[in-house]
Structure 1
């Protein structure tokens, strides 16, 4: 045998051995795709993405179409365990974690910002993000966030959630406001002075400038406070 031929045989031997080892084994990617397709057909929204199986897993190649299923009582959640089984001559079953990914356009911060910062349009941008793991919700419109202050420092790229924002103040302490007191029979308007800051629908104390009486009311706009009538 020539030296060149011997060299090729020695070089190709490891690849031939690997091919023999993989022959007759089930492709793990096919199992993952089966689980994804099964869940995607049943989920109400989003896309299904299987967690990759351990590459050390060795299963006999299935001669029948793979069957996906949910265990008794299982419900579809953000991460759902999907069973995949083979009913061929060498049966087996394996469980595949599958994530449901819901992508929406959300607000994110364009810059690193400190606690207490009042957001402007320049601080915000809109990006497509996975919102399936945001139990506190998210904001989609820049108008929903402008003017609100941050409850904590946040970094650029963080998703802006309702829980991260303080309500924008509509009324400032010392500001002149219109007091409105109404019943089914009558409505009265008077001038007052806010004794504390107030956001929309927040309860604040206000002094009636005519009588000097301090009352409580609900902030309804940047100028109007609805007096609570007992």
Structure 2
């Protein structure tokens, strides 16, 4: 009996088995990558604070990585903004590599606000001064205003052209007391109330701290309670 055909059949069978095993490993790795990609997508969606339509795309490496048995997603850096092109990490305790990083794109289509007219420094903003628009927040400043409450009643810090997106850094609480103006100083405590006048040594918004030089020559610190009153509580 010629053993050659038998050996050839055995080699072919081994090759077919190897191909099958390789196919199983590749499929398993692809399945693990798909599960990890979905996990990272869900994690990024949970970290997106803005309301609106969120589209997330996580790029997986071209070569399948070893399985991550207990994946723990995280965002590198301190309080990163979850919008635009970002990096997302995953910790794989006990596996190699133990920490892996992936690139992702997060688009957030939501409402934001722009100036409805030219705003000048010191202008107090009302609803008629802002206009709602919708767009991709990842292409706008990180602190773009998405709620009217962040703008209405505030004072413009600088000139803002009509149509420009408004960010919370462009506004501040309106000044209630100006530096150098005369103010009424009210000191209140258990069973007493004393009123005098003085000069404000610093500007302050409503509720802000004010240093006042009183008529008696002393310097006191109180809180602005309206446009010309500083209250000291004892």
TM-score, normalised relative to structure 2: 0.51
Corresponding residue number in structure 2 for 1:146: 153
1:159 paired to 2:158: no
CA–CA separation in structure 2 for the residues paired with 1:125 and 1:166: 19
Q: Deviations over 1:99-137 (max 9, x none)?
A: 3344543332234545x2414334312233555686547
Match status 1:202 vs 2:208: yes
| Aligned pairs for 1:211-230 within 5 A | 211=216, 213-227=218-232
Q: How many residues align?
A: 175
What do the CA deviations read for 1:180-210 (whole angstroms, capped 9, x no partner)? 3234x3441414244343212322233445x
Change (3 A) 1:69 1:41: farther
Q: Could you tell me which of 177, 181, 184 is aligned with 2:187?
A: 181
What residue in structure 1 maps to residue 132 of structure 2? Answer: 126
Q: Is the 8 A contact 1:48 1:98 kept in 2?
A: no
How far apart are residue 169 of structure 1 and its match? 0.8
- Tell me the residue number matched to 2:28: none
Work out whether residues 81 and 98 of structure 1, in 8 Å CA contact, stay in contact via their aligned partners in 2.
Answer: yes
| TM value normalised by structure 1 | 0.52
Change (3 A) 1:189 1:105: farther
1:75 aligns with 2:80: no
Q: 1:172 aligns with which of 173, 178, 189?
A: 178
Change (3 A) 1:69 1:80: farther
Residue 87 of structure 1: aligned partner? none
Instruction: Work out whether 1:44 is the aligned partner of 2:73.
Output: no
Q: Which has the higher helix share?
A: 2
Q: Distance in 2 between matches of 1:113 and 1:178?
A: 32
Deviations 1:149-194 (A, max 9, x none): 32x4444322321x222331112356554423234x3441414244
RMSD: 4.6
1:105 aligns with 2:106: no
Contact 2:119 2:159 in 1 (8 A): yes
SS at match of 1:44: helix
Cα distance 1:139–1:117, how it changes in 2: closer, same or farther (>3 A)?
farther
> Secondary structure of the residue that 1:220 maps to in structure 2?
strand
